[in-house]
Amino acid sequence: MARFDLTLPLAATMLVCGCAGQSGQVPDQSGRVTGYVLTAPVCPVERVGQQCPPRPVSRAAVVALSGEAVRGSTLTDMEGAFSLTLPEGRYVIQATNVGGYASTASEPVVVSDTPVHITLIVDSGIR
């Protein structure tokens, strides 16, 4: 009777199915949430035919909430852009304006292997 060494095929199977490792757990999957934080209104009086688009918010605090727990955080860059890498799941992404008028904007997202892109618009306080 012939004897076969199953060590290599078994190790390859465990690696392919994600079963390798001491804990026997499949590695966590993660995804990316990117976006912009803008503020509006930015003109004290908006007139018909006169554009007054929202402006980027630099250094706005952006957090990913899972229930009440913060699962990730970052600050926006000079263009108001942010990026968070999070484990797969459901989150509320919340941005807080900087400066004298601290307003927030939030949006629920589902993080998976497909990137999510959102734009959050915080209130500027201009009336």
Total number of domains in the chain: 1
Residue 46: per-residue pLDDT? 67
Residue 19: per-residue pLDDT? 40
Residue 16 falls within a domain, yes or no? no
Residue 11 falls within a domain, yes or no? no
pTM attached to this predicted model: 0.73
Strand partners, 106: 94
**pLDDT tens-digit map of 87-102:** 999 999 999 988 778 8
Residue 71 falls within a domain, yes or no? yes
Residue 117: per-residue pLDDT? 98
Residue 5 falls within a domain, yes or no? no
Residue 118 falls within a domain, yes or no? yes
- In sequence order, what are the residues at sequence separation of 6 or more whose Cβ sits closer than 8 angstroms to the Cβ of residue 122? 37, 38, 39, 57, 60, 95, 96, 97, 103, 104, 105
- Residue ranges of the chain with pLDDT lower than 50? 1-27
Residue 55: per-residue pLDDT? 93
Check which CATH number belongs to the domain holding 103 and give it. Answer: 2.60.40.10
